Structures are given as structure tokens and as C-alpha cells.
Amino acid sequence: MKPGTRDHVIAATHFVLGPSNFLVLCLPVNWDLRLGRAPMDVDYTIFFDGVRWAQAGQASALLVDPKARRAVEMTVRTSRKAIAPPKLLDSRSGKCRVGGHDAGYEIGGTDFGLFRTKHYTVLHIGYHCQETQRSMDLRFLHKGPSEMLEGLLPPLARARCH
């Protein structure tokens, strides 16, 4: 952990399997991690280095910076097979690193709501973790400009997925 940062564990608890980690984020100290809107679910798990990781499942979280009054909604999906990327409007793509893995990212927009009136900026990152034998699909949603989400790319390089 670097000075000025702290680890945030995104995990879910299964009543039979117990707690399973999806991802460990290393974010600046001013950010908090809160429960997201979608229910968390774990279908399959794998042990790696003494920790149980969600091999197939989904989790959601809300990254909150209370002093700056901003929030980013995050969803994590894991699967033992490939996960289809979302269809984004006016998107641009690039390469990054997440937890020591090469990953591809795409930033674009999407519309939500009954009449598609709520516009969100989306950062989508997809990669495969060979150690835990799972595909990772990370999605960050924000109502503001894409620069806010691009600022998440450097901290994601220090994330742990195994």
C-alpha cells in the first residue's frame, strides 16, 4: 500500500461458501467504498494463496468521495468464460494494467431509464486472470465527464485480483 492510499475489498458472502473476494482496490484515502444497488452473488469460487476468490459471480459498489461530493458506481462480474463488453456510444479504447495483467479499456456513454433520458459516462475494463482462471469485467459509471473515470486507471494498476 502506498502512502495516502488504502485497500478496499470488494467481496460477497455466500451462506454456504462464506466470504469470497472479487477485487481489492487501492484508492486514495479520501475515497470510501459503500454497498452498491445490485445484489451480490457468488456461483463458483477458487482458492488462491490462502484466499477464496469469486470465480463466477457479480458484485456492485459505490466509490464515494464525500468531501468532493462525487460518486462512481462500480460493478464487477467474474466468469469462467469470456464476458461480452457493453455497447457504448462515442467510445474510445486503450490499454492499461490491472493487478499485473494487461487489460483493455473503453470509455464511452450510455443512456439509462425508461425513456433513455439519463446519460452516464462508462469506463469498461476487461481482462483474464490466469491465476484464478476467470474473466474480469469492471464497469464504472459516472454522470460527469470522462476525465473523472480516466483518473481511476492509475490506481487500478495497483489492484489485486489474486
Whether the Cβ atoms of residue 19 and residue 12 lie closer than 8 Å to each other: yes
Amino acid at 142: H
* pLDDT score recorded for residue 3: 59
Task: Examine the pLDDT at 153 and tell me if it is beyond 70.
Answer: yes
Region of residue 146 (left: phi > 0; alpha: psi -120 to 50; beta: else)? alpha
Q: Which amino acid is at 26?
A: C
| Cell matching residue 73 | 458506481
Q: What is the pLDDT of residues 13-72, one digit of tens each?
A: 878 878 999 999 988 888 899 989 888 999 999 999 999 999 999 999 999 999 888 999
Q: So what's the pLDDT on residue 144? A: 86
Express each pLDDT in 119-147 by its tens digit: 999 999 999 999 999 999 999 999 988 99
- The terminus-to-terminus CA distance of the chain in angstroms comes to 16
CATH number among 3.30.530, 1.10.3470, 2.60.120, 3.30.460, domain 5-156: 2.60.120
Residue 81, SS3 per DSSP: coil
How far is 150 from 148, CA to CA, in rounded Å? 6
What's the pLDDT tens digit per position in 64-94? 999 888 999 999 999 999 999 999 999 999 9
Reply yes or no on whether the pLDDT at 2 is more than 60. Answer: no
pTM for the model? 0.91
φ, ψ of residue 141 to 5 degrees: the values are -115, 135
pLDDT at 113: 81
Which of these, 161, 137, 146, lies nearest to 75 by C-alpha position?
A: 137
Give me the count of residues in the chain.
162
Phi, psi of 39 (to 5 degrees): -70, 145
User: Residue 8 — very low, low, confident or very high, per pLDDT cuts 50/70/90?
Assistant: very high
Report whether pLDDT(1) > 50.
no
Radius of gyration of the chain (CA): 15
